[in-house]
Structure 1
Amino acid sequence: MAGKIPRQFIDDILARIDIVDLIDGRIGLKKAGKDYQACCPFHNEKSPSFTVSRDKQFYHCFGCGANGNAISFVMEYDKLEFVDAIEELAAILNLDVPREQGTGAPQRTQEQRRSDYELMQQAANFYQQQLRQHPQGAQVIEYIKGRGLSGETAKRFQIGFAPPEWDVLYKQLGRNNELQQQLVDLKLATENQSGRRFDFFRDRLMFPIRDKRGRVIAFGGRVMQKDQSPKYLNSPETRIFHKGFELYGLYEAKQAHAKLQQVLIVEGYMDVVALAEQGIDYAVAALGTATTAEHMHSLFRLTDTVICCYDGDRAGKDAAWRALEHALPYLTNGKSLQFVFLPDGEDPDSLVQKEGKAVFEARLQQADDYTQVLFQKLTEQIDITTDAGKSKLMAEALPLIDKVPSDFYQDSLLDLLARFIGKTREQLSKKLTSPKQQNSIERKFKVTPMRQAIGLLIQHPQLAQAVDYLPELAEMAIPGIALFLQLQQLCLAQPTANTAQLIEFFRDSKEYEVLKKLAGWPHNIRDEALEKQFQQTFQFIEDQCLNLHLETLLIKEKTEGLSSEERQEVVLLTTALKSRRSSQN
């Protein structure tokens, strides 16, 4: 895997990209005072509440609360992961994305990476061409028709044919030594011990695997004769393909729906295309691996409902359990995870062709909620009529419940567990390894003096110079003071930094959501009054710190006694606080 993207490059991207131009090119913006407005792309509304600030390089929706910088917008609007969003913005600016070298591997330039994707697309085109022109092509087309697929579906998924000859693709695309090595590196060709190179895929129906941006990154090949094995052959991992992060059919599903209401996870490529043929165009498949946590994370970013469809045998139940475990950390409020188990001997491909779209989708409507699958699995080999069984169930269930971020879902799971073992939800809640999250972002947001100071500073970084930088205040146990000082230090160290860059620095921290909310907070303070208001707020916070320190010393005086230096400090603090109060009056 490549190294991390340097922080300086991320800052440069945010300094060079104009968020107004970026968003205007996607949804259209209208000037509204010094900012820009549009109807929010993240929820339905009739009048615009989505505001974009060129000064802050920040967007905020007063309707649904969506906010962030250019990176956040591309991640949410284009449904990309962080690294993909950086690459998208870098491509707009015609920049190569550098990587910190954790290994000795050489970096690949933007042009080299583009060449990889172009070569993969050329391979996809080659396989499609072979389907039309190879002597066996007509036979393969008959096989495709026999599987119930139309030419339109085959074209949509770019289905092709890898001919049985040893090195047709290698000779066709490997026009020079560099391209020949590239074919080997991308696992389109392979090399044996004697040094001979030949095509990796031969005599197979070919399914191009596309990433979230529609680029071909790998292939799946399926045999067409029963005596051939293995049934499926998948591209090995390469520098552009990591199977634990990709899902077959996801790009096509996104193209079919402006908003994916639900996503159906199935096991094979043929399942995905057979369902799409019947109009069920929201299915995806893992690529020769179990459904991973990364898969679940990606899907729950795209949709609120994920339905896992597996065989009803032991292997299917085991696959469902792995998917469930990986999904638990992403079950935030409003997200739904469901399971459908198919009759013996059936898969989605065969079943949808037998019963059609309406009946198959009726099965999805009757899907089991994840809570049923969870407790069925946990209790199937436990005797819950005994104390030993109840204690074992509690020991196995609580760590899983603890992974769920939604308080509401946690309460529901604890209620179910309580019925099994005869305890109350409150008793079980105390046994969670971490307290239930109290997400202040989802509650009514109260702007305290500290939040006001932080909000003003992140919206107007130049204010950092309006007050003294006092790192010793960090020793005071005032909530938020450490974050304020960290933010002020950043602003002083980078005097040209804007709101977008400051927010990005905290992306992976627990303070990120609070800072985003404060960055969009409408403080309604006139520009000419900003500095004075900020100074007054900071003075209030400083007084809090001084009072706290004075109280600490006075308590110590009564319990332990003070040194001469500490007594002198009490006198100085008392005098300073009196002077401050007099000046304020």
Structure 2
Amino acid sequence: MAITPQWKDELRARITLSTVIMRTEKLVRKGREWTACCPFHDEKTPSFYVNDQKQFYHCFGCGAHGDVISWMTEQRGLSFIDAIKELAAEAGMEVPAPDPVAAKRAEKRAELIDVTTEAQDWFVRNLHSAGGRAALEYLNRRGLKPETLREFGFGYAPENKQALPAALPRFDDSMLVETGMRIRTDDGTMYDRFRDRIMLPIQDARGRVIAFGGRILESRDGIAKYLNSPDTPLFDKGRTLYNLHRAAPASRQTGRVVVVEGYMDVIALAQAGIADVVAPMGTALTETQLELLWRMAEVPVLCFDGDAAGQKAAMRAVTRALPLLAPMRSLAIVRLPAGIDPDDLVNQQGSGALENLLAAPKSLLDLLWSFESAAKPLTTPEAKAGLKARLMEHVDTIQDSDIRALYRRELLDRFSAFAYPHRERPSARQAQSTPGRAKGNWRYDKPAPRGLSPDAQATLNRAMTGGQRSTLLSAVIAGLIRHPEEITRHAEALSSLAKADPNAAPEIESLIELSETLDSEHENAISGPQGYPAPPEDRRYAFLREGTSPGEAREELAEAVSLLVQKPALEAAMAATIARFDDDPEGSFAEQARLRQQLTTVEERLKAFGRRKAGEPARQD
């Protein structure tokens, strides 16, 4: 087999870059990175940084950049294969034997890059010839400077179906077809793919030309404005980002990478001084492209056009990214004014206008909420329930359990605030003078409160006076009655508890019934002349005590509800696992061991939670 990119990735993952560099250089910890005076040039102020997480070193003074392999070749002076062998021995890996097939494939790629490189040179010459005059004038009208044309390699393909083989006679037609620059029809006829188009080279991460994009000069019916090379042995549009080889070094200095929709947006921003910009290849962002972006920045910024199509493109990228989210790895989104793309904004208002937007992007979660809440009218209960369902569908795709739980909580909080808005309560004088309202120290949100049914009232009374087997459940029910605005927030978790623990179902159903009538802002919201349940005598929990801040009560209630839900859910999972023991004894046994460990952990957390609230010291096991 050959030394594949995957093998090299595994090698880098097993080696700590800073450890290797510290063998010859003195590194000093600086936040999440290491710094030193650059070993590649003389300097007195450190500008050399080592990032173990991203597995690279970089000098902001001389531009030296690389990974652990390039460190061994450039600083230690080893050959590539000697560097690989030394690092592999340290990592406990075997160096793959040479693969003749892979070697032949690499040789073929090199030959094809020779073709695309010569084609690029020819396109550039055409632009500055008499035949390219109209194309050059068009680019000048677009405001592109000569240095920008040179930097991005603008060229021109003439209106001639057979121009390319005549211009590149040393390459046969089969190679021109294989690079995507010529098309072979079923009857064997061949012709140039790009004709009468402004040409832009598409380059890989090393800056080698691997494909082309062509733009027409004037819009014509039936003619695509932009045309890209097809996928070839050199080019995979789902694994390539336009301008990556320029944006990556810029991104290391800014700590940011910006994603726009097209080539011209990238070029306009680069001309305006914003260099850390890339674009996908005319399609939605793929998982591979997202991984490339996350190697450059923890939170890439999407800056798509302000029209409906641009916003849908941003949403497609978000849905593609959700399953891949991880701690410190997300997306941010800049929403441009309607009908404006980044190119327009920079040309009309200057780079400062765009920089201001890039400095304050929306979070991925914000975009989810705003997109789905604006997707359909929300004038009926059914439509509002549909909004909640759509949001939870997105949340369920997130693979990381912690991030999924946090997204669920945040979006449910926003939904609750939207679907169950705060209602103005009457003053004390209005409460006393309005027929149907209770007098004394009890107030209601509803004009005509319907009160609890006798069964529900009796159920909650028993739950909080010692009749319920779980002290924590009794306390939580009392706490939620005192803070009824929290009931809706935890409704989903409480429903899960009711399903997993039938003994708790009557109390939870009565609690939800009661949530419609309670007012949490009075000094004693859980008792009153109508006989609503009084708080339990045990006030060890902060959410049952007077004077507790809303934030502290909210936080402690959330922890208590989480603990209540986890145990019956794990017990139900354990029962299901035991039931399938006969069909899968090995898998069932392993799953039982894992679940028992989790149950033990939850039991300890329950005990520690109770001791902590009682003011007892936690045990030191």
- Flag whether TM exceeds 0.5 (same fold): yes
Asked if 1:175 corresponds to 2:170, the answer is yes
* Number of aligned residue pairs: 395
Distance 1:78 1:155, change over 3 A: farther
Aligned mate of 1:295, from 269, 277, 289: 289
Aligned mate of 2:209, from 210, 213, 216: 216
* 1:395-453 superposed Cα distances (whole Å, 9 cap, x missing partner): 32223223333725741542232341463258459979xxxxxxxxxxxxxxxxxxxxx
| Residue identity matched to 2:34 | E
Report the equivalent of 1:113. 109
Asked if 1:375 corresponds to 2:364, the answer is no
Contact 1:130-1:162 within 8 A present in 2 as well: yes
SS at match of 1:286: coil
Shift of 1:222: 0.6
* 1:249-283 superposed Cα distances (whole Å, 9 cap, x missing partner): 22221143434522222222111101100011122
Correspondence list, 1:3-14, <5 A: none
Contact 1:254-1:260 within 8 A present in 2 as well: no
- Report the Cα distance in structure 1 between the residues aligned to 2:119 and 2:496, rounded to whole angstroms: 55
Shift of 1:342: 2.9
Distance 1:91 1:358, change over 3 A: farther
Asked if 1:281 corresponds to 2:275, the answer is yes
Distance 1:429 1:384, change over 3 A: farther
Shift of 1:231: 0.9
Asked if 1:45 corresponds to 2:39, the answer is no
* 1:361-410 superposed Cα distances (whole Å, 9 cap, x missing partner): 11223433222221222233556675544543333222322333372574
Report the equivalent of 2:191. 198
Point out 4+ residue stretches in structure 1 off by more than 4 angstroms.
5-15, 36-43, 63-69, 74-79, 88-100, 381-387, 428-432, 474-479
Report the equivalent of 1:347. 341
Distance 1:305 1:23, change over 3 A: closer
Asked if 1:159 corresponds to 2:159, the answer is no
SS at match of 1:165: coil
SS at match of 2:292: helix
Contact 1:28-1:38 within 8 A present in 2 as well: no
Contact 1:378-1:397 within 8 A present in 2 as well: yes
Report the equivalent of 2:415. 420
- Report the Cα distance in structure 1 between the residues aligned to 2:4 and 2:351, rounded to whole angstroms: 51
Q: Unaligned stretches of 5+ in structure 2?
A: 38-49, 57-64, 71-78, 86-95, 421-487, 498-585, 595-621
Shift of 1:303: 0.7
TM-score for both structures, normalised by structure 1: 0.57
Contact 1:209-1:220 within 8 A present in 2 as well: yes
* 1:140-163 superposed Cα distances (whole Å, 9 cap, x missing partner): 333222212122222221221112
- Report the Cα distance in structure 1 between the residues aligned to 2:242 and 2:168, rounded to whole angstroms: 25
SS at match of 1:222: strand
* 1:325-377 superposed Cα distances (whole Å, 9 cap, x missing partner): 01213332333422233334432222211111111211223433222221222
- Report the Cα distance in structure 1 between the residues aligned to 2:230 and 2:6, rounded to whole angstroms: 31
Report the equivalent of 2:307. 313
Contact 1:266-1:272 within 8 A present in 2 as well: yes
Contact 1:402-1:410 within 8 A present in 2 as well: no
Contact 1:414-1:429 within 8 A present in 2 as well: no
Q: Unaligned stretches of 5+ in structure 1?
A: 49-62, 80-87, 101-105, 433-473, 483-585
Identity of aligned residues (%): 30
Report the equivalent of 1:565. none
Correspondence list, 1:215-364, <5 A: 215-227=208-220, 229-259=223-253, 261-364=255-358
Report the equivalent of 1:544. none
Report the equivalent of 2:601. none
Report the equivalent of 1:488. none
Distance 1:155 1:90, change over 3 A: farther
- Report the Cα distance in structure 2 between the residues aligned to 1:259 and 1:97, rounded to whole angstroms: 38
Contact 2:261-2:305 within 8 A present in 1 as well: no
Distance 1:92 1:271, change over 3 A: farther
SS at match of 1:251: helix
Contact 2:305-2:341 within 8 A present in 1 as well: yes
Distance 1:92 1:286, change over 3 A: farther
Distance 1:274 1:391, change over 3 A: same
RMSD between superposed Cα atoms in Å: 4.6
Distance 1:31 1:121, change over 3 A: same
Contact 2:55-2:67 within 8 A present in 1 as well: no
* 1:93-151 superposed Cα distances (whole Å, 9 cap, x missing partner): 79997599xxxxx994321121122222222122112223x312344333222212122
Distance 1:387 1:13, change over 3 A: closer
Shift of 1:218: 1.0
Contact 2:378-2:384 within 8 A present in 1 as well: yes
